[in-house]
A = this chain, B = another copy of it.
Amino acid sequence: MNTFGNIFRLTSFGESHGPAVGGIIDGCPPGLELDMEFIQSELDRRRPGQSRITTPRVEPDTVEFLSGIFEGKTTGAPIGFMIKNQNQRSSDYDNLKDVFRPSHADYTYQQKYGIRDHRGSGRSSARETIARVVGGAVAKLYMRQLGVSVSAYTSQVGEIKLENDYKKYDLTKTENTPVRCPDTEKAEQMIELIKQVQYKGDTIGGVVTCVIQGAPVGLGEPVFGKLHAALGSAMLSINAVKGFEYGHGFDVSKRGSEMNDSFFDDNGKISTRTNNSGGIQAGISNGQDIYFRVAFKPVSTILMEQKTVNIDGKDTTIKARGRHDACVLPRAVPIVEAMAAMVILDYYLLSKKV
């Protein structure tokens, strides 16, 4: 199940400490000009070592395209690509070979497959998300032509939380701070918190909010392919994600009469006065902004001693070494955008099929 999507499909491969990570994009419409600089800039947003609050592991993460492009444009053929792994320190993981790190993939992979590449978490490493960012960047280039934008930002780190919804912020400011939060003041507090946590060898989670603007009416394939079910599945497939909500989500304290979005004639265009629906009604986009929130757990790798068992089931302790993020939120923002862009393009293409 390393393939994502229906018409626009990404199949990915690669482990943290293998020769390369990469993928194949299938079903990309032909004739799309691939802006290589943009694609690389998206990878740079995800790349480790980009700021003082991310892991110091430095990887250039340069993408090489292997097929599907002719004279700078997509041809309709599958687009193969890879990113070589470079700054590996496999020896950091020698002590993990025979123990199961708490809340990590070690135990479940070992039990499921009977074999496990323990170096850098193998296939369960977040390096796998590189392929998603490439796929998402291609999707964004296509969506840009249609006037659709996808903007995510960090809206919560630990207990520090934006008080307003996305409409109150200037989302073009998201990239101004390394934590990718458009509220400068809160951003500083988040950074401070991450540093404190990092100093203790601990980790912290948070929430990413994402907004899709300009999506046409009609995306979504009832009943099992509802647009928000596809977005939810996409987000939940990202490492460390624990929850997804769209529109008013888990806020169920209000009544139907307060929550319903009444329609009105907006100068000849049908619009809604409020948008508690989150831009999706009965699984189909209604032309309003689509917005959702994604919860990320604190990274499981902590630089503190933890109790656990070894491969023989015997009690032992473990203490991680190596270079790790104390908080994935800043680097999660482009991944959330990438997955959202792929879903929207895929559903856009699906909606053209009948």
Residues of B within 8 A of A24 (CB): 2, 11-13, 23-24
Given contacts A20-B80, A124-B222, A262-B308, A281 and B236 within 8 Å (CB-CB): no
The reply on A156 being an interface residue by CB < 8 A is yes
- Measured CB to CB, the nearest residue on chain B to A207 is B252
Residues of B within 8 A of A41 (CB): none
- Measured CB to CB, the nearest residue on chain B to A286 is B108
The reply on A66 being an interface residue by CB < 8 A is yes
The answer to whether B265 touches A111 (Cβ under 8 A) is: no
Give the size category of A's interface with B.
35 or more
Compute how far the CA of A234 lies from the CA of B132 in the bound complex, rounded to whole angstroms: 22
Given contacts A248-B297, A261-B102, A286-B108, A113 and B76 within 8 Å (CB-CB): yes
Compute how far the CA of A351 lies from the CA of B76 in the bound complex, rounded to whole angstroms: 11
- Measured CB to CB, the nearest residue on chain B to A277 is B103
Interface residues of A in 213-233 (CB under 8 A from B): 217-218, 220-226, 228-230, 232-233
The reply on A3 being an interface residue by CB < 8 A is yes
Residues of B within 8 A of A278 (CB): 242
The answer to whether A107 touches B349 (Cβ under 8 A) is: no
The answer to whether B253 touches A80 (Cβ under 8 A) is: no
Compute how far the CA of A297 lies from the CA of B156 in the bound complex, rounded to whole angstroms: 23
The answer to whether B114 touches A31 (Cβ under 8 A) is: yes
Compute how far the CA of A202 lies from the CA of B228 in the bound complex, rounded to whole angstroms: 25
Segment with Cβ contacts to B, from A43-51, A166-174, A309-317: A309-317
The reply on A29 being an interface residue by CB < 8 A is yes
The reply on A295 being an interface residue by CB < 8 A is yes
Residues of B within 8 A of A272 (CB): 102
Contact of A350 among B265, B302, B304, B353 (CB under 8 A): B353
The reply on A257 being an interface residue by CB < 8 A is yes
The reply on A306 being an interface residue by CB < 8 A is yes
Compute how far the CA of A19 lies from the CA of B81 in the bound complex, rounded to whole angstroms: 10
The answer to whether B232 touches A226 (Cβ under 8 A) is: no
The answer to whether A296 touches B252 (Cβ under 8 A) is: yes
The answer to whether B260 touches A13 (Cβ under 8 A) is: no
Apart from A103-B261, A257-B304, what are 15 other A-B pairs with CB-CB below 8 Å? A3-B26, A15-B67, A18-B67, A18-B68, A27-B353, A124-B222, A124-B283, A203-B255, A225-B237, A229-B234, A232-B233, A242-B246, A242-B250, A256-B299, A276-B297
Interface residues in chain A, defined as those with a beta carbon under 8 Å from any beta carbon in chain B? 1-4, 7, 9, 11-15, 18-24, 26-31, 64-70, 73-80, 82, 100, 102-105, 107-109, 111-117, 122-124, 128, 156, 158-159, 197, 202-207, 217-218, 220-226, 228-230, 232-234, 236-237, 239, 242-250, 252-257, 259-265, 268-270, 272-273, 276-278, 281-286, 293, 295-302, 304, 306-309, 313-315, 348-354
